[in-house]
Structure 1
Amino acid sequence: MLTATGRRRLARCCGKAERGVALVVALLVVALATILVAALLDRGELALARTRNALRAEQVQAYAQGLEAYAIEALMLPRDGPDTHLSRWAQPLPLQDVPGGRLTATLRDLNGCFNLNNLAPGQATQWRELFTRLLAALALEPRLGEAVAQWLDPDPDAAPAASAYLGGAVPYRAHGGLFTHVSELRLVRGVDAMVYARLAPHVCVLPPGSRLNANTASAAVLQALAGSGTVPATAALGQQLWQNGRAQWSDAPSFWRATPLGSAPPGLAALVDVHSDAFLARGDIVLDDLPFTVFSVLLQRGGRVIAVQRSSGADEALVAAVALVPDPP
């Protein structure tokens, strides 16, 4: 039997134990409440970020449509004389402050680059020869021209290279049709990252049958134009014809007279001009310090300018192509 003193000691010990359990329970409640509040705050921030991103995406879409309309209006203005990098449409839109950020825009002449779809079956054979010379001007394997042509072949399974695509680590079939975007080059056999980075700024994707503008073509493309099987062209000649991006040939014959050829070789006269009807509108938009890049391919047909392709994302090939366009005077 416990004495009075023992009972008092036992009561004190039990009281301390109960207080300890209560303290642990209180700590657990506080911890659970903290976790719940943190989860609610995190969920709220995530919902806020989603709402902000959705709002910004809608803003970018609206600004992209506005920039495209601005580019179309610029191209619809009367154009006297040949198209050059100094033409009125080629002047970039100055930086504009808009709600939430800023934007600017540029127009690139797509007739100044080599149209990959001109290598499709049924097009002039001179395009293949010109593409081979362009590869040589860029110090790339001439065999890539055949690989690109096979990619465009409507019957890719009949091509000797079909097994090369199907036998790869990731098997796939050659497209067997027209290119839809320059980045599709990365799927062509032999086009690695280095080849793509070197070639992509000088090529583009348009409907077959487009012509080259001697005023806006890059130095490498002009070097390919000025050469032939018997009269090879040098990089220095290409730079001379390019005139630092400020060439202003009044017509195609005047361009040919400036080359060692003296006149257009057979079959090439119809492929070169000094007027353009295909353009790439690029918009650079910054909202909340987040950059967005949008593109529109514009074609001028029958007195109208229509958008035939829209894309977003800063394709490095398209960004690199900007370096080929001179700064405005």
Structure 2
Amino acid sequence: MQPSKANKQRGVALIMVLLVVALIAVIAVNLGSRLQMQVLQTANLQQAEQSYWMWLSAEEVVGEVIKAELQDSDGVVNLQQNWAQQTGPFPVEGGTIAGQISDLHACFNLNALAARNEQGTNSNNRSPARYRPEYMALLKSLSIDDYTAQTLADTLIDWLDADTVLTGTYGAEDPDYLGLPHPYLAANSLLLEKSELRQIRGYSQEVYQKLAPYVCVIPGSTELVINVNTVDQSQPQLLVAAASGELDLGQATKFLQNRRADGYKDKEAALASPILSGLEGKNNVNLDNFGVKSNDFSLLATIQWGDLTLKATSVMQVTDKRARVTFRSFGE
């Protein structure tokens, strides 16, 4: 018996209905997944936004704390002051916040390698890098051999300076980087973060890990002043560097061990100490590399809000009158 035309039409209609139902189900599932994703994205965005504002609030608090300390101490900075104490984590509604403040004059400012001597020229008819001897002393105090130290100094100078002329025998400019598997150009400008060292020829992961605890970047500044009050006792190499190698590690270690908890009241008192007084009159030592005052600090904020953990770094320039942020970045 042949099915009637009406039965065939009913069968086709049923199939169409089933297809429509299936299509609606697929669309509903897709819309549900998208809605769920949007809800999650919105929640994450809210957490990120809240964490960001907490970070900015932490900057304000830290700036006021340091500013008050500088007002009370006539600008002298030491490790007994409130800014130097580990802060937090403090509970806040929905999470916690913690901060660690560091003096950027208790480390070697890498941008100092861009500074030039006012007098004298080298073989390329340029004024030599003013703080190259200090950087070489730091590298050698970290048991880096002379050849590697020369290379690291010259390639960093070339990365920072504005020209494309090689520095010394071991420098590196654009052609050295354009020949790499993933080519790029030398920055020919100051650093913003010390992690940029990894782009410079010679700064392998091994070298970077050895050097990183002792160096920092002060954005826009080419000065080198080591605060003898805030150098960590475990880092006498920084004093060796400030003295261009005229202090040995033993002398620098003894100086830090004998330093009072609240440091020296002024630069003159520090330079009159039994160990640093021996540097007076040595031609290759710049006593201006030593100080007891600081205006550049970094804040590492760790913010936990909901499921989100944010680490963020702020570089701050602080005087007894004002505090301002000169650089921000996510991560340490």
Residues 1:287 and 2:300 aligned together: no
Report if the CA contact (8 A) 2:105-2:296 is conserved: yes
- Which residue of structure 1 lines up, in the alignment, with residue 229 of structure 2? 215
Partners of 2:181 and 2:33 in 1: how far apart? 42
Pairing 1:259–2:275 present: yes
TM-score (norm: length of structure 1): 0.78
Q: Which piece of structure 1 moves more, 256-265 or 280-289?
A: 256-265
Structure 2 counterpart of 1:217, which letter? V
The structure number with the bigger radius of gyration is 1
1:64 matched to 2:71? The reply is no
Over 3 Å counting, the alpha-carbon distance change for 1:223 and 1:87 in structure 2 is same
Q: Deviations over 1:174-208 (max 9, x none)?
A: 22221122121111111122222221221111212
Aligned counterparts of 1:194 and 1:244: Cα–Cα separation in 2: 32
Q: 1:175 aligns with which of 170, 177, 187?
A: 187
CA shift at 1:47, angstroms? Answer: 0.8
- In the other structure, the counterpart of 1:75 is 66
Equivalent positions of 1:119-268 (< 5 A) are 119-122=113-116, 127-140=131-144, 141-143=148-150, 144-159=152-167, 161-162=172-173, 163-206=175-218, 207-218=221-232, 222-226=236-240, 233-234=248-249, 237-243=251-257, 248-250=262-264, 251-252=266-267, 255-256=270-271, 257-259=273-275, 262-264=278-280, 265-266=282-283, 267-268=285-286
Distance across 2 between alignment mates of 1:39 and 1:203 = 52
Moved more, 237-246 or 68-77: 237-246
Residue pairs, 1:74-113, within 5 angstroms: 74-77=65-68, 78-80=71-73, 82-113=76-107
Identity score, percent = 29
State the Cα distance separating 1:300 from its structure 2 match: 2.3
Q: CA RMSD in A?
A: 3.4
- The one-letter code matched in structure 2 to 1:161 is A
Structure 2 counterpart SS, 1:178? coil
TM-score by length of 2: 0.77
CA deviation after TM superposition for structure 1 residue 261, in Å = 6.9
The 3-state SS of whatever aligns with 1:191 is: coil
Which blocks of at least 5 consecutive residues in structure 1 are unaligned?
Answer: 1-6, 316-329
Structure ranking higher in helix proportion: 1
SS in 2 for 1:112: coil
Q: Which runs of 5 or more residues in structure 2 are unaligned?
A: 119-128
Q: Across the two proteins, how many residue pairs are aligned to each other? A: 303
Q: Which residue of 1 aligns with 2:124?
A: none
How far the C-alpha of 1:273 sits from its partner, in A, is: 0.7
Per-residue deviation, 1:46? 1.3
Deviation at 1:269, TM superposition (A): 1.2
Q: For residue 322 of structure 1, what is the aligned residue in structure 2? A: none
